[in-house]
Structures are given as structure tokens and as C-alpha cells.
């Protein structure tokens, strides 16, 4: 049929003005002569139905040009540091958008064959199909047959409600014509294939192909493509997951239609119909491979980007955690907790956090002694008093002030402090006083009185300021007992802060996210480390040497791992919390033991006797392929 441009009729003076709908439709439709029938049908339907106000409705239809920048909701994917998928996040729509060239020709042809075989010939409305549907609908007095082209299906899904009314059907036809005037056929088909619903909360061809057949859309063969195409009409009814017989029947219908169109041969029909199909698995609402890690990632992303963007933005998130390393950490904690239980230790929980001092990337988070039973992440969500494990912050400031060195003599003797109405008389663990001793030995033996005195000397506000600079965000007050760790902190905060000691003062922000991109590969967040020298090198090296002595001759001999390491034990009053936080140049890790109800663990339980062995077991596994490295000596740096 030849192409003919619709010409406006000249107005006849004094004749009644045509309806606004008539003028509007004539003004927007300039298509082939085949579409004149569709236009006439629209006008006739308006007249027959007496649809008052339809002209106004048409004027308020969406601007289809907005599709130029339209980005449908897409699924966000989270990976470990090596690219292993951990989980996916999405709202209602589980979708991954792909380009036209990433879709199998088999699927394109199959979809067109069963949904709109004249797609490349019409201009939004197929007059034959629409006419047949119009007659059926007029006879029944309601919409009972669609007659929709693929373009009409697209605009219905994107712009219109699903109510079965003449109004909606007419608006659908008008929008379809508009879309065809603005977009090429391939652009429309690409939009459609990425938008269509394929059942089980799966939207778009790529996610559907991955769900149903465990492969990308570009790799679908004829048998798989025709089964998927047949599902579009009623996805759940024809899903091979729920009704393979119905799916096969529908597949054969698609194959037959393709043969009728001359797009495939009878031999191809027979081969595809008999080809065995290997099904994948539903990818919507996945459970995470590492729940503790992905929950930490989601929390950080929500704070930065907002929950809506995270669920629908199609992000690609690379975490800092290696899947196998994390699993190893979980297994060590679970095994060590069972051994503690068998020894009669009344601690129902263990938490561990590990950070790489060179990057401040989180390497492992274990939030429970039984990760499969409890998803409460005590490594980042539970604030517990670190006790003496907090003292290194005070000693660092003492060394950095220039008033103390590891050899400075301090007094371990009775002390009473007053701050307004507060009277504070600190005691040593186990009682007694040691008298004059070096600052080094006071930390190795974890004496309380020298730490409290040093805290008063350097200033409690400065202790808090240092803690903040090292990444500690938990609430802190300058109370007299602060140098003894009377503040609630998380294991991750402690591991991250000690990681700066391990790197001899170089600091980056601790993070569980390495990189975030959008679906097109544009970088949204790049956490490539940008270390800055935060601490005085001499003071840090001096502190590291002293804390190495904590392991070789002090309260943490049980943490010895056969290489140079440093750390500090922590035990709170009544043995409610026991800690060991230690490090080598390549890894910093904190271990906490306790009870969620804050009940005492038991008399004689200390960080050195119970937390340090857990740390040792973890570090031996974590470092077995790492070379031995040493902390730089204080003599390498000038003293403040």
C-alpha cells in the first residue's frame, strides 16, 4: 500500500466546529494510509461511547520523549573483592538492562512472531488487529480483546493503568503513534524487551534468561527463546518452574507461528521442540552468601545514597572482603567458641573484626559465635567496654607529647581524683600496687593507675580527639575512668584504630566497600586508599615496640604467633567483657567475648587467657601465606 499523507479538510464557514478530540487526533497522526482506518476507529469510538472529556485527557498524556532519558528500576549486585557474586538487591522489579546487540536473535524473532509479527511494517497501530479487537469489544460493550501492537504494550506498561476501558485503549493507541514518531523500531524493541514482565518478579530479558536458563540473553538458543517468548502472555501460568507441560505447549505454538511466517524451517521446529532444557533457578529475593558482610555494605550504601537508589539503581558494588577469607574467619570463631564452651567459659557470644592496615579495608567481620543462627552483627552493632585495650590511645598521646618515653618512670600507687562531685579511686586488676616502674612495663603489665595519671596529664579531651581521628564514632565523654576504657566501642572501631598503629601512623577511612559503579560502569564511589600520615612516627613506633612486649612478656603471651606482633588485652570489671586487639603490619584484628545480657563471664576470665587464643587461631590461618614483616624501630625517627 502506498504511503499517503493525511491532509486537513478546509473548514466550512458556519459549520459546527469538529470535536476537540477529532482535531487533536488529526493533528498528531501523520502515518501511512493503513493507519487512517485506526484513526477513524478512534474517532468513531469516541462518538459512539460519548466519552466526555477525552480531549482533555489526550492533551494530558505523557510526553513520550521522556523515554530518551528513561532508566527503569534495576537490580543492584554485590560482589566480593574478587568478583564472586554475594547477593542482589531489588524492589518489586528484579531487572538488568542490556543493549539490543546483547540479545539473542532467536529471542527477538520469537517475541515478534507471537506478539507482533508486523512490528517492522506498522507505525504503532496494526489496523487489522485493532479492527478485529474493536468489533469484539463493541459487541461485548467492554474491552475483551487487546489487538495491541508491541508498541502499544510498551506504552501501556510504562505510562497507563491496567484498567480495561475504552479510554485507556484509546490513549494507548495515541501514545503508540507518538512513540513510533520519535523512536526507531530497534529502540522500541530494546525498550520493550528490557521492560516486559517474565514472572517471579523477573523483569527484562537478561534477568529472565539468567533465571530460567542460567545464561545471558545473548546465548539463548531457539528452544529456550521460544519458551520464554511464549511466557509473555501469562508468565506465571506458562512458567517452566511451575508448569512445564503448559510451557512446552506454549513453546510449540511459538515455533509453529515462526514456521508459518517463514522464519524457521520445519526441521528447526522439530529439533527445538524435542531439545532438552536445563533450567536455572529463580534469582529474585536471593539470600546472601555472606549476610554479615552484605548487611554492613547495605547500611553504608543507604547512608550515602539512600535506600531507594540502592534498591533500584542497578549498582555494582565490590566489597573489600574475600569470600574464602570471611568463611575462614567464621569457622575459626565458631570452633574456638565451642572449645571455650567445653572449658566451661560462660560467654555466649564472640565477635571478630579484621582490617588491612595498608588500605584500611575490612577483611572480615564475624558478628556471632554461630553465624547461621544469629544475624545480629556484634562486630559493628554492639558497643562494649574495651577495658584496658583502650590504654594504647592514652600512651600514644603521652609519647607524642614529648613528656613520656617508654623508659619514663611512672608511679603505680594509690590515687584519688575529684571532678566536681565525682570522686574516683582507680584500682589495679587483682589489687595491689607496683610502685615506681617504666611506662613500658606499666602498659605491658596493664597497670591502671599510670594510665589514669597519664590521661589526666595529656588531657581527656585530647584522648577523645585522637579516637575520633582514628575512626571511632561511638559516643564518648571525658570521664575520669576513660583511660581504662569505660566507653562502649565496637570491635570494628577498635580494629580500625589499631590498624593505624600497625601502619606506623598512616591512616585511611575504614570501609567494607572498595568501589561502586552504575549499570553503565560509571564510578559512583571509589574508595581507593588515600593514606595520610596522621600520627607521629616516633611515638607510634615506640607504642608498637611496647605493645609487642605485651605478647612476648606481658598479659597476652597466649597471642604469640611466631612472628613480631603487637596488641593489648582488655578485661572489664566483673569480667563482663574480655578483649584482645592485636596486629602485624599486614593485618589488625580485634576479638571480643561476652554475653548479650551483659552477665559476668566468670571469675578469673581475662582477655589474655580467653580472647587472645581466639585471636591467635585466626591470625595463624590469616597469615599462613603472608611473609613475616616487622614494625620500624623508634630509632628510625626523630623524637618529638
Give catalytic residues, as residue numbers: 115, 388
Instruction: Give start and end residues of each alpha helix (H) in 261-347.
Output: 266-274, 291-305, 307-312, 323-342
DSSP result, 478-512: --TTGGGT-S-B-HHHHHHHHHHHHTTTEE---BS
Q: In 3D, which of 451, 444, 440, 373 has the Cα closest to residue 417?
A: 451
Tally of CB atoms within 10 A around 249: 12
Three-class secondary structure of residue 599 per DSSP: coil
Judge contact between 594 and 489, C-beta under 8 A.
no
- The 10 Å CB-count burial string (b at 16+, else e) for 449-482 is bbbbbbbeebebebbbebbeebbbeeebeeebbb
DSSP result, 429-476: TTS---EEEEHHHHHHTT-HHHHHHHHHHH-HHHHHHHHHHTT--S--
| Helices 323-342, 612-622: crossing angle, 10 deg rounding | 150
CA–chain centroid gap for 263, Å, is: 43
- The 10 Å CB-count burial string (b at 16+, else e) for 259-289 is beeeebeeeebeebeeeeeeeeebbbebebb
Three-class secondary structure of residue 579 per DSSP: strand
Helix (H) or strand (E) holding 410: strand 409-412
Is residue 421 packed enough to be buried (19+ CB in 10 Å), middle (13-18) or exposed (0-12)? exposed
C-alpha cell at 224: 529456550
Q: Which residue carries 520523549 as its cell?
A: 65
Helix (H) or strand (E) holding 549: helix 537-553
Please give the backbone phi and psi of residue 593, each rounded to the nearest 5 degrees, phi first.
Answer: -125, 140
C-alpha cell at 154: 510498551
Amino acid at each position: 500500500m502506498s504511503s499517503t499523507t493525511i491532509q486537513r479538510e478546509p473548514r466550512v464557514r458556519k459549520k459546527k466546529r469538529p470535536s476537540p478530540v477529532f482535531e487533536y487526533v488529526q493533528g498528531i497522526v501523520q502515518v501511512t494510509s493503513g493507519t487512517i482506518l485506526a484513526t477513524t476507529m478512534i474517532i468513531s469510538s469516541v462518538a459512539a461511547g460519548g466519552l466526555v472529556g477525552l480531549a482533555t485527557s489526550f492533551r494530558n498524556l505523557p510526553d513520550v520523549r521522556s523515554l530518551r532519558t528513561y532508566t527503569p528500576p534495576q537490580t543492584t549486585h554485590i560482589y566480593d573483592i574478587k568478583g564472586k557474586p554475594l547477593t542482589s538487591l531489588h524492589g518489586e522489579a528484579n531487572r538488568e538492562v542490556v543493549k539490543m546487540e546483547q540479545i539473542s536473535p532467536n529471542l527477538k524473532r520469537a517475541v515478534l512472531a507471537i506478539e507482533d509479527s508486523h512490528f517492522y511494517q506498522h507505525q504503532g497501530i496494526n489496523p487489522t488487529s485493532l479492527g478485529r479487537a474493536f468489533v469484539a469489544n463493541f459487541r461485548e460493550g467492554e474491552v475483551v480483546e487487546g489487538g495491541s501492537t508491541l508498541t502499544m504494550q510498551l506504552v501501556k506498561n510504562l505510562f497507563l493503568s491496567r484498567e480495561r476501558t475504552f479510554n485507556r485503549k484509546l490513549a494507548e493507541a495515541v501514545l503508540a503513534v507518538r512513540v513510533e514518531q520519535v523512536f526507531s523500531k530497534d529502540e522500541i524493541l530494546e525498550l520493550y524487551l528490557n521492560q516486559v514482565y517474565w514472572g517471579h518478579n523477573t523483569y527484562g530479558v537478561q534477568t529472565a534468561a539468567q533465571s530460567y536458563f542460567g545464561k545471558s540473553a545473548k546465548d539463548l538458543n531457539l528452544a529456550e527463546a521460544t519458551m520464554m517468548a511464549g511466557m509473555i502472555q501469562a508468565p506465571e501460568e506458562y512458567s517452566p518452574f511451575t508448569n512445564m507441560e503448559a510451557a512446552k505447549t506454549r513453546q510449540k505454538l511459538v515455533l509453529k507461528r515462526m514456521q508459518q511466517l517463514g522464519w524457521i524451517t520445519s526441521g528447526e521446529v522439530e529439533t527445538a521442540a524435542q531439545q532438552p532444557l536445563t533450567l536455572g533457578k529463580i534469582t529474585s529475593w536471593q539470600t546472601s552468601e555472606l549476610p554479615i558482610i552484605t548487611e554492613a555494605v547495605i547500611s553504608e550504601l543507604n547512608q550515602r545514597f539512600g535506600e531507594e537508589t540502592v534498591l533500584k539503581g542497578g549498582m555494582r558494588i565490590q566489597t573489600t572482603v574475600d569470600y574464602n577469607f570471611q568463611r575462614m574467619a567464621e569457622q575459626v570463631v565458631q570452633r574456638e567458641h565451642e572449645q571455650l564452651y567445653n572449658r566451661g567459659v560462660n560467654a555466649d557470644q564472640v565477635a571478630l573484626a579484621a582490617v588491612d592496615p595498608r588500605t584500611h579495608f575490612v577483611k572480615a567481620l564475624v558478628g556471632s559465635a554461630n553465624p547461621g543462627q544469629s544475624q545480629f552483627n556484634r562486630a559493628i552493632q554492639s558497643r562494649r567496654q574495651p577495658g584496658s585495650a583502650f590504654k594504647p590511645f592514652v600512651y600514644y598521646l603521652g609519647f607524642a607529647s614529648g613528656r613520656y618515653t617508654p623508659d619514663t618512670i611512672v608511679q603505680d600507687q594509690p590515687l584519688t581524683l575529684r571532678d566536681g562531685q565525682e570522686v574516683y579511686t582507680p584500682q589495679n586488676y587483682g589489687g595491689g600496687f607496683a610502685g615506681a616502674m617504666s611506662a613500658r612495663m606499666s602498659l605491658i603489665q596493664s597497670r591502671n593507675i599510670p594510665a589514669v595519671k597519664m590521661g589526666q596529664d595529656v588531657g581527656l579531651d585530647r584522648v577523645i580527639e585522637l579516637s575520633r581521628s582514628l575512626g571511632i564514632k561511638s559516643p564518648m565523654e571525658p570521664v575520669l575512668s576513660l583511660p581504662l576504657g569505660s566507653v562502649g566501642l565496637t570491635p570494628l572501631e577498635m580494629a580500625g584504630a589499631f590498624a593505624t598503629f600497625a601502619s606506623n601512623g598512616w591512616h585511611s577511612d575504614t570501609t567494607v566497600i572498595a568501589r561502586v559503579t552504575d549499570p553503565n560502569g560509571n564510578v559512583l564511589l571509589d574508595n581507593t586508599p588515600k593514606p595520610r600520615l596522621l600520627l607521629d612516627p616516633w611515638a607510634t613506633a615506640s607504642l608498637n615496640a611496647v605493645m609487642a612486649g605485651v605478647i612476648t612478656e606481658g598479659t597476652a603471651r597466649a597471642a604469640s604467633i611466631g612472628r613480631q606482633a603487637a596488641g593489648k588485652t582488655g578485661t572489664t570489671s566483673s569480667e563482663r567483657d574480655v578483649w584482645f586487639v592485636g596486629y602485624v603490619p599486614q593485618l589488625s584484628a580485634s576479638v571480643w567475648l561476652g554475653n548479650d545480657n551483659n552477665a559476668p563471664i566468670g571469675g578469673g576470665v581475662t582477655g589474655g587467657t580467653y580472647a587472645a587464643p581466639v585471636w591467635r587461631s585466626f591470625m595463624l590461618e590469616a597469615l599462613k601465606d603472608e611473609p613475616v614483616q616487622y614494625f620500624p624501630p623508634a630509632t628510625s625517627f626523630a623524637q618529638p
